[in-house]
Structure 1
């Protein structure tokens, strides 16, 4: 069975050299390989500076890898055909405000990718927008709202709608819950899990929150300083970590959630 998404030895090198002097902004993401199946969630875990957000950008085409290839349903994704990637791999960002234009309505925010990537008529685009809003728990009247008129939870639902509007196969979410309060975070997590089950999406979740990682992911990939530490089923990694680094991460999480005596 062909994997939905295959990452084959994808790496990235950011050169920060100037006349032989190594600068602080140099970074190397060592070659990484993994597969993602339809309906599966893979968590990418690591501390700040581990390269997890960079890996997400490589997947959606926001950055170009210096080595390796990415395949979608067995077809190689070419860096010269960004439209194919834009249609099939969509991203949700941590801070929804930064990805939502404050000067246009919700309808315009959602219509823009449809205009750029589909042949839908104006009427068909409106129907698609209403359907997508309803899918993420918003109502038709939200089409006429501006960003500042929405709550934090509604903005994150809009960011999810923006990711879903083109009917992608894979969603890459970079710390999508970090800015939400606990109650809204729980509602959003449950919504994403529900939609994944209904739509069969492949979901890549980038986070350092091990509680959420354990709750929603099937497998986890651990990064440290641009290096792949280990990858495996989430419960196996939590219960039987192979590396000392992963063990420390798990113990740190457990110390936070375990009741104090």
Structure 2
């Protein structure tokens, strides 16, 4: 089966402003990154703050441009000529749903915008698509007339998910999507995502510090440190037989947290 996403030797270098006419000072380097994702599969990305996880997400959705390397979608290299296709096929769920939703317009307008910009649907067709997508994420049709401040944290995250789904993507890239949610709401959203993945065959790239959720929903894990992938493999292998000392520390800290919660 052809990989849904194939990332080959992706590199990104962030520079400070030029120190003089001849040199720049390198501040952060990401890569080389090599990953594969199949339809219906979840790849988790773990590591400390500053390891490059969020930067990788931005590169995948086209918010940042790599210095070298390539991203393939269904075997086709993504570049300037098919940038629009990337925007339709790979969608991002941001960490803070409250900040990512415009407080000055209704949720229906938020969901309508990507349809107006990226499809030929007329007003009635867009309205039907908005209601369908709201239902997919467990919201009511009348929620389209609400504003951001009228929703709970869990409902806002559902709207953020609806916005990501509205264009029928093939891949969702989620950067800490559950960080601001309380445990009961977090569990509901996790189950919703897993159900949607099964129904729609979505590929899911999930960035998180919550190793409990990572272990529960992911098929594969990559471990990042200082912009590099230091270990990768099937989820059960990473958690049961981690090779790298850094990965071992992450897993042991997670297990220690579970033991404290059970005592």
Q: TM-score range by the shorter chain?
A: over 0.9
Question: What SS does structure 2 have at the residue aligned with 1:214?
Answer: helix
Hey, what does 2:258 align to over in structure 1? 257
Per-residue CA distance 1:35-55 (angstroms, 9 max, x = gap): 100000000111000000000
**Partners of 2:259 and 2:40 in 1: how far apart?**
31
Describe how 1:1-261 pairs up with structure 2 within 5 A: 1-16=1-16, 17-19=18-20, 20=23, 22=25, 26-259=27-260
SS at match of 1:254: helix
Q: For 2:233 and 2:75, locate their aligned partners in 1 and report how far apart those are by CA, in whole Å.
A: 22
Q: Tell me the matched-pair count.
A: 259
> Gapped runs of 5+ residues in structure 1?
none
- 1:99-155 Cα distance to aligned partner (Å, 9 max, x none): 111111011000000000000000000000000000000000001000010110000
SS at match of 1:142: helix
Shift of 1:80: 4.5
Q: CA deviation at 1:222?
A: 0.3
C-alpha contact 1:3 1:37 (8 A) present in aligned 2: yes
Mapped contact 1:93–1:173 kept (Cα < 8 A)? yes
Quote how far apart the aligned CAs of 1:79 are: 3.5
Uncovered stretches (5+) of structure 2, i.e. residues with no partner: none
CA distance in 2, matches of 1:94, 1:15: 25
Contact persistence 1:10–1:65 (CA under 8 A): yes
For 2:214 and 2:259, the matched residues in 1 are separated by: 17
Q: 1:10 to 1:21 in 2, by over 3 A?
A: closer
Contact 1:238 1:250 in 2 (8 A): yes
How far residue 82 of structure 1 moved from its aligned partner, in angstroms, is 2.2
TM-score (norm 1): 0.97
Contact 2:15-2:24 at 8 Å conserved across structures: no
Partner SS for 2:80: coil
Instruction: Give how far 1:7 is off.
Output: 0.4
Change beyond 3 A, Cα 1:74–1:21? closer
Kindly state the Cα deviation for residue 172 of structure 1 after the two structures are TM-superposed.
0.1
Distance between the aligned counterparts of 1:124 and 1:76, measured in 2? Answer: 32
Deviation at 1:22, TM superposition (A): 3.7
Question: Is contact 1:64–1:79 with CA below 8 Å preserved after alignment?
Answer: no
Alignment root-mean-square deviation, CA: 1.2
Return the alpha-carbon distance in structure 1 between the equivalents of residues 188 and 37 of structure 2: 25
- SS of the equivalent of 1:18 reads coil
Contact 1:61 1:79 in 2 (8 A): no
Paired with 2:24 and 2:88, the residues of 1 have a C-alpha distance of 41
Instruction: Kindly state the Cα deviation for residue 21 of structure 1 after the two structures are TM-superposed.
Output: 7.0
